[in-house]
Structure 1
Amino acid sequence: MISGNIRNPNGIAESKSGMISKLGYALLYAVLAAVAALQLFPLVWLLFFSLKNNQEVFNLPPLSLPMNPRWENYAKVWSAGNIDVYFLNSVWITITATLLTVILGSLVTFAVTRMKWKGSSFVLGLFMVAMMIPVHSTLIPLFSLFSKVGLTDHPLSLILSYIAFNMPITIMILLGFYYALPKEVEEAAIIDGCSVNRMFVQIVFPMTSSVIATTAIINMIYNWNEFIFVNTFISSDAYKTLTVGVQNFIGQYTTDWGAIGATLMISILPILIMFLFLSNRIVEGIAAGSVKG
């Protein structure tokens, strides 16, 4: 009878630890919800901003709904604002630069990690040092170079600049994954008479599809949002991208703020949708490339 009335101290301790754990998770979820709301605030503000006219932008609170949503702002910027041309330019320049960067980065990483040759460490060091070069310090030399070879106001100047500045980070992400690849597969391919080029195309490149997807997404986000190179090297409307197209609605005496908001919303949506659907691939690729052995 006496032993039946004695409380189990281990059970009390487990109950308390369970309550503390639940409180901890509740606090964590509350903090994450607050951070998520804070991250969504600019997008909500921009959406409301794009549906207002100039009077509503300056007279109404930032998060207030427009009295009469002006969806015609989107139609105006797409047709009269030349945004359709800028959008297509952003798409094909981004895709072209991303594909070339991923292919060249994979070739360099394969040569550095899977082939033995003098100077491989030095070449890899040069690419890593390039990550420390500020973009703005290269604008004048690049503009002078492109002027001499006739590439100013040409989309090739953007593609070459994107490839050059994205190659170091692309190689850095690929390195860990390439070091972790089993050499036995390559040795078996060589024994079967497979050439180096065929081994890269048919064996190594498909094996790195997850980390390649990661580098491609990162490259696309950077290329899509890039502004300084487009603003410096491109002057004609035929080759401008969305990031500089917003300047069309800034006049000397008047500025159409609703049209600017609509342009920014159009430029954000594609990359936002892509990131929402492919964010897991980024995490998987970085995690796969971070483990060696």
Structure 2
Amino acid sequence: MTTIDAGRPLAGMARRRTGVGRSLGMVLLYAVLIIVAAVQLFPLVWLLFFSLKNNQEVFNLPPLSLPMNPRWENYEKVWSAGNIDVYFLNSVWITIVATALTVVLASLVTYAVTRMRWKGSKFVLGLFMVAMMIPVHSTLIPLFSLFNDTGLINHPLALILSYVAFNMPITIMILLGFYYALPREVEEAAIIDGCSVNRMYFRIVFPMTASVLATTAIINMIYNWNEFIFVNTFISSDAYKTLTVGVQNFIGQYTTDWGAIGATLMISILPILITFLVLSDRIVEGIAAGSVKG
């Protein structure tokens, strides 16, 4: 009895030490996460202050200093006089159309490669994977020549086709692991009930892959929204430009309106930032589902 009673205080002390160690570990973890979050938010805070200054304040004040008189009119100026409203709408509809086409087409290709048996399926999949190794810059001249011959230069269809073509390989690669792991019993039961291939895909397979499709859609949206090279190469008319190149309107030969540039960049960041914050759980869910099932 004496031995047992003597051991109880030692066990209690060990548990307390373990609890203190875990608490310190959590404090350190949260401290590191707070520092990382502050580093990540620094560019956004700097850009917000930057967008509310004039040229003199941009160059004469410290980067994180508040503007003497916040110039909210910078946002009004770029939205009305700077034609940013047109560029913003172009970015929205081009991004949505290109993303929808990419996700649907990539899903169809992945379904055909992974769920159907036909000669050449591995070869087709290999072609898409090889396309991931082609640098974007090496295709600009051939694409420009192709679109020029087909009358698509200075037309939004040139952007949509380019976005779909270059985003298809990475989208298919994300979808592969999930589609390979789908239970075939569900499809076999649907076929026995007389379900056609098209109906089985849109009514059964497509809903089952909603999480991973949402992940690929968000990734495509971020790329399409921020894309610059294709817009700058294929589009010259203000009627079809997007926000990424619209910022150049405030860069002159002799003067540059830095506050207006900051306001334009802030406007271009907010939609994709809000979308990412709202749908970030879907990204993690889709990636986790694909990795576990694959």
In the alignment, the residues of structure 2 paired with residue 275 and residue 6 of structure 1 have an alpha-carbon distance, to the nearest angstrom, of 54
Change (3 A) 1:2 1:291: closer
Deviation at 1:88, TM superposition (A): 0.4
In the alignment, the residues of structure 2 paired with residue 164 and residue 228 of structure 1 have an alpha-carbon distance, to the nearest angstrom, of 15
* Residue identity matched to 1:265: M
In the alignment, the residues of structure 1 paired with residue 181 and residue 76 of structure 2 have an alpha-carbon distance, to the nearest angstrom, of 51
Consecutive unaligned residues in structure 2, runs of 5 or more: none
Matched ranges for 1:1-293 at <5 A: 3=3, 4=5, 8-292=9-293
**Quick check: 1:48–1:64 contact (8 Å CA) kept in 2?**
yes
Deviation at 1:11, TM superposition (A): 2.8
Q: How many residues align?
A: 293
In the alignment, the residues of structure 1 paired with residue 248 and residue 209 of structure 2 have an alpha-carbon distance, to the nearest angstrom, of 40
* Residue identity matched to 2:27: A
Deviation at 1:115, TM superposition (A): 0.2
Deviation at 1:2, TM superposition (A): 5.1
The C-alpha deviation readout for 1:221-271, integer Å capped at 9, x for no partner, is 110010111011101101000000000000000000000000000000000
Change (3 A) 1:9 1:268: same
In the alignment, the residues of structure 1 paired with residue 109 and residue 11 of structure 2 have an alpha-carbon distance, to the nearest angstrom, of 59
Consecutive unaligned residues in structure 1, runs of 5 or more: none
Q: Percent identity?
A: 84
In the alignment, the residues of structure 1 paired with residue 163 and residue 18 of structure 2 have an alpha-carbon distance, to the nearest angstrom, of 53
In the alignment, the residues of structure 2 paired with residue 133 and residue 11 of structure 1 have an alpha-carbon distance, to the nearest angstrom, of 63
Deviation at 1:180, TM superposition (A): 1.6
* Residue identity matched to 1:290: S
Deviation at 1:10, TM superposition (A): 3.0
Q: SS where residue 61 of structure 1 aligns?
A: coil
Q: SS where residue 151 of structure 1 aligns?
A: coil
Deviation at 1:31, TM superposition (A): 0.7
In the alignment, the residues of structure 1 paired with residue 15 and residue 176 of structure 2 have an alpha-carbon distance, to the nearest angstrom, of 46
Taking only aligned residues, the RMSD between alpha carbons, in angstroms, comes to 1.3
* Residue identity matched to 2:110: T
Deviation at 1:5, TM superposition (A): 5.2
The C-alpha deviation readout for 1:85-138, integer Å capped at 9, x for no partner, is 000000000000000001100100000000000111111111111111111111
In the alignment, the residues of structure 1 paired with residue 32 and residue 137 of structure 2 have an alpha-carbon distance, to the nearest angstrom, of 37
Q: SS where residue 53 of structure 2 aligns?
A: coil
Deviation at 1:7, TM superposition (A): 5.4
**Quick check: 1:180–1:291 contact (8 Å CA) kept in 2?**
no
* Residue identity matched to 1:157: A
Q: SS where residue 293 of structure 2 aligns?
A: coil
Change (3 A) 1:106 1:6: closer
Deviation at 1:6, TM superposition (A): 5.4
Deviation at 1:8, TM superposition (A): 3.6
In the alignment, the residues of structure 2 paired with residue 200 and residue 69 of structure 1 have an alpha-carbon distance, to the nearest angstrom, of 54
In the alignment, the residues of structure 2 paired with residue 205 and residue 10 of structure 1 have an alpha-carbon distance, to the nearest angstrom, of 56
